[in-house]
């Protein structure tokens, strides 16, 4: 497989439910941050591409919850590009606890769309090259 990008996340009180366990939707937020930082580390700034008329949107997510993360835990989000197509790509993502315990894993499909029309378009070659080199 290709390059694995690591992104640390601390669980804040606001991320948890009344029992101190991370609320399920917040794992998706952690993964979104990691994908954004992965692209930033590769020189792809999404706000610049948005100004050029390109947006990246989640079109599909498959997620498995394996263990609970709790308030104040330090987590690591692992992000890996596993497929690049003409107008979409797929990421494999995992969230691990500091002790290596698997918290959750997901496959996230991203579509490239024109902005503001929100119609599928080809991923710009410059971005596609970056994604393919990370695979």
Domain tally for the chain?
1
Structural domain boundaries, residue 31: 3-130
Q: Is 17 labeled as catalytic in the residue annotation? A: yes
Q: How many CB atoms lie within 10 A of CB 93?
A: 26
pTM of the model: 0.93
- CATH of residue 66's domain is 3.10.129.10
How is residue 60 annotated by DSSP? Answer: E
Spatial separation of the C-alpha atoms in residues 95 and 111, rounded to whole Å: 22
**Is residue 80 a part of any domain in this protein?**
yes
**Is residue 44 a part of any domain in this protein?**
yes
pLDDT at position 1 is 59
For 63-103, how does the pLDDT look when each residue is reduced to its tens digit (9 = 90+)? 999 999 999 999 999 999 999 999 999 999 999 999 999 99
**Is residue 135 a part of any domain in this protein?**
no
Pairing of strands 88-97, 5-10: unpaired
Mean pLDDT of the chain, nearest integer: 95
**Is residue 124 a part of any domain in this protein?**
yes
Query: Which residue of the set 15, 17, 64, 99 is catalytic?
Result: 17
**Is residue 105 a part of any domain in this protein?**
yes
For 14-30, how does the pLDDT look when each residue is reduced to its tens digit (9 = 90+)? 999 999 999 999 999 99
């Amino acid at each position: 497989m290709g390059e694995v990008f690591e992104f640390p996340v601390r669980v804040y009180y606001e991320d948890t439910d009344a029992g101190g366990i991370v609320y399920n939707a917040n794992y998706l937020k952690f993964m979104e941050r990691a994908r954004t930082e992965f692209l930033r580390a590769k020189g792809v700034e999404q706000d610049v591409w948005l100004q050029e008329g390109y947006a990246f949107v989640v079109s599909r997510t498959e997620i498995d919850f394996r263990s609970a993360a709790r308030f104040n835990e330090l987590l690591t989000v692992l992000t890996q590009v596993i497929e690049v197509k003409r107008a979409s790509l797929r990421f494999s993502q995992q969230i691990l606890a500091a002790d290596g315990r698997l918290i959750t894993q997901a496959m996230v499909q991203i579509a490239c769309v024109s902005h503001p029309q929100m119609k599928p378009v080809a991923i710009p070659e410059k971005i596609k090259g970056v994604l393919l080199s990370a695979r």
